[in-house]
Structure 1
Amino acid sequence: MALQPVELINQRILITGATGFVANPIIESLSAHNKVFAAARFKDDSAKQKIEALGAEALVVDLGADQLVGLPADIDYVINLAVAKSGKWSVDMKVNAEGVGKLLVAYPKVKAFLHFSSTAVYEYAGHEPRSEGSPLGDNHRSLFETYSISKISAETVASFVARQQRTPLTIARLNVPYGSFPCWPFFHAKMMEAKMPIDVHPEGPNGYSPIHGDDIVRAVPYLLAAATPDVEVVNLGGSAVVGIEEWCEYISELTGLSPIYNPTSNALGNLTVDVNKLESIAGPSTVDWKQGVRAMLEDLAPELLLSR
């Protein structure tokens, strides 16, 4: 039986990493009934205007700065989606690991803090689903040298600070997000259109636990409800295991395009996750993956569909 979700109405919510694709639907959903502050580095006014159009107040905040400035007061909930993938160790460790620590220190008394991590923190283990207690490792090094280690470091810093100051914290390890925003299945569709090879690990099928944006949004109040000063770690993935090959073949059915696979050990390998804990907190996924992929194409690339 799922937890009782927190009631997100008339709350003051800070969301960092606001320009990220996963953040956008969360911002839009929560802005309908709350005062949402959406923070990011915002390199230009158009990015700020896009966030403001979702109903949030856009704030220029750099988690890589020595001191965080421009943060609002009297915040009820913090949702941290900020991430740096520059490939520079000094930058990515400072933003990802130190940044979440600074945020927690800035808001020790919030009702709950939700930190988005990644299943990239898990050691590669072939087709074995990873649970929250599985060994950690440098999973994404072949493509993003700094990513896995900096995300593991961020979890460590966040957990330490939360326990020290007794701030309720949930760490959500996100698998493959997809939906009506740029995402891995969409990139594969565009690669199929361009007849570009799609890298796949030789130890196929390359399974994942993709989760639709609607289910991510739906899970947020439950994940906040699960937060504890002793730190709750939760895999955030979909209920269905779907392989790269499987979603590419389905895209092929919808579009008539053919995937070209390039088996290489440099590709990210199978990374399915055990979602039993997530389902005990928030229930199972509600969006069928095929319906989600079709809706993705209808919204982002309707011209590719054989039937519209």
Structure 2
Amino acid sequence: MRGKKILVTGGTGQVARPVAEALAAAGNDVWCIGRFGTPGVAEELRARGVTTWRWDMEDDSEQALKGLPEDFTHVIHSAVRRGDDGDFNRTIDVNTTATGRLMAHCRTAEAFLFVSTGALYARQTLDHAYTEDDPVDGVADWLPAYPVGKIATEGAVRALARVLGLPTTIARLNIAYGPGGYGGVPMLYFQRMLSGQPIPVPREGQNWCSPIHTTDIVRQVPRLWEAASVPATLVNWGGDEAVGITDIVRHLEELTGVSARLVPSDVTRETYRFDPTLRRRLTGPCEVDWREGLRLTLAALHPDRLRPRYAASEHVQHRGART
């Protein structure tokens, strides 16, 4: 994509920041809006050619977006109030209202991409491959208000896509990981490994997921915009490969020599395996193998922890290609 005017929310996060920086580098006029609470992050984005503009999702007034241009051609809305405080009503109100105002403000855009979550699916077997038609219930013991807020916001997005005639894609994200930000869920587990903290795992079997590296996220965003429609297109956004969380942790052990304390528990950070059929049809296949993706992430964030034989690797291994 070149020559487009693109609006990004959540542009300091794991998913949207590499997208914003890559699109700016490709010759697009990219704007990131948010609170920019982390010192220096706004300056870093501007140094990469991204325009920053202050916006607080918690501000539900009609003036919240006053002064922001309205002529964006594409929008990716990744910002979220997670509901860490457990306030379900506030989580629903903030996310739906902020998203509604954003869609109304950008009603003339060619495409709107809303980043949702796979955590809203009704739990089935640990290795079940979830499709877009599977039932949802919004139950997540590790962060109860989060998936409920996402379900409510998906409803608002579907309604406004129709009311405004705004072509929209709702992408339910799986585990995103990579060298940017904190590295994603695999690096949260690695931090626990480094500190000797236990990692809760199911008493039988293991949680499964479909991790997607930020390289593939960046490459697929334009395809998800191309898939936008009225009514909204719904797609599971994860990698091609189903991977067990225990297998991820064991591979981190292999790469670093750091031991993990896996503790059987009734409550774990549940993850979900996606059926990639629809997403592959819309975006094409992923390129970064999960094992190489973990190595690259460690090399960027914890280079001193990689065993020499892995740190010395010179090439990124892609499925079917080498760069």
Report the Cα distance in structure 2 between the residues aligned to 1:210 and 1:139, rounded to whole angstroms.
Answer: 21
Map residues 66-145 of structure 1 onto 2, 5 A cutoff.
Answer: 66=60, 67=62, 68-69=64-65, 70-85=67-82, 86-87=84-85, 88-126=87-125, 127-140=127-140, 142-145=141-144
- Structure 1 distance, partners of 2:264, 2:171, is 30
Partner of residue 247, structure 2:
246
Q: CA deviation at 1:201?
A: 2.5
Partners of 2:119 and 2:271 within 8 A in 1: no
Bigger drift between 44-53 and 215-224 goes to: 44-53
Task: Give the secondary structure class of the aligned counterpart of 2:138.
Answer: coil
TM superposition shift of 1:248: 0.8
Answering whether residue 46 of structure 2 is matched by residue 52 of structure 1, we say: yes
Trace 1:156-175 onto structure 2 (pairs within 5 A). Answer: 156-175=155-174
Which residue does the alignment assign to 2:291? 290
SS in 2 for 1:38: strand
Q: TM-score, normalised by structure 2?
A: 0.89
Listed one character per residue, the Cα deviations across residues 83-113 of structure 1 (whole Å, up to 9, x for unaligned) are 1123322432123222211111111111000
Shift of 1:270: 4.4
Aligned to 1:4: none
How many residues were matched structurally?
300
* Distance in 1 separating the partners of 2:255 and 2:51: 39
224-233 or 69-78: bigger deviation: 69-78
1:156-185 residue CA offsets vs partner (Å, 9 max, x unmatched) = 000001111211000000000011032111
For the pair 1:216 / 2:213, whether they are aligned, the reply is no
CA distance in 2, matches of 1:62, 1:229: 28
Q: Which runs of 5+ in 1 are unaligned?
A: 1-7
1:202 Cα deviation (Å)?
A: 2.6
Q: State the AA in 1 paired with 2:51.
A: E
2:319 aligned partner: none
Whether the 8 Å CA contact 1:64–1:91 is kept in 2: the answer is no
5+ long unaligned stretches in structure 2: 312-323
Distance 1:251 1:292, change over 3 A: same
Q: What TM-score comes out, normalization by structure 1 length?
A: 0.94
Write the distance in 1 (CA, Å) between the matches of 2:153 and 2:48. Answer: 28
- The CA distance in 2 between the partners of 1:278 and 1:22, in whole Å, is 17
Amino acid at match of 2:178: G
Q: In the alignment, is the contact (CA less than 8 A) between 2:169 and 2:225 conserved in 1?
A: yes
Q: Structure 1 188/10 Cα, relative in aligned 2: closer, same or farther at 3 Å?
A: same
For residue 155 of structure 1, report the CA deviation from its aligned partner: 0.4
SS of structure 2 residue aligned to 1:234: strand
**Is residue 38 from structure 1 mapped to residue 32 from structure 2 by the alignment?**
yes
Query: Is the 2:14–2:177 contact (alpha carbons within 8 Å) kept by the matching residues of 1?
Result: no
Distance 2:71 2:225 in 1: 17
Structure 2 counterpart of 1:259, which letter?
Answer: A
Q: Which 10-residue stretch deviates more, 211-220 or 12-21?
A: 12-21
Q: Partners of 2:252 and 2:11 in 1: how far apart?
A: 29
Larger RCO of the pair (alpha carbons < 8 Å, separation 6+): 1
The one of 5, 9, 20 aligned to 1:12: 5
Paired residue type of 1:302: P
Query: Could you list the per-position Cα deviations for residues 182-208 of structure 1 after superposition, in whole angstroms to 9, with x for gaps in the alignment?
Result: 211112112112111111233422110
Q: Residues 128-170 of structure 1, C-alpha deviation per residue, up to 9 Å, x if partnerless? A: 1110010011232x11121010000010000001111211000
What is the aligned-residue RMSD (CA, Å)? 1.4
Q: How does 1:189-208 map to 2 (within 5 A)?
A: 189-208=190-209
Partner of 2:316: none
Cα separation, 1, equivalents of 2:111 and 2:277: 22
List structure 1 segments (4+ residues) > 4 angstroms apart after TM superposition.
none
Identity of aligned residues (%): 34
* 8 Å contact from structure 1 (residues 61, 71) kept in 2: no
Moved more, 248-257 or 265-274: 265-274
Q: What residue number does 2:261 align with?
A: 260
Tell me whether 231-240 or 55-64 shows the greater mean CA deviation. Answer: 55-64
Amino acid at match of 1:133: D
Distance 1:45 1:299 in 2: 21
CA distance, structure 2, for counterparts of residue 132 and residue 35 of structure 1: 33
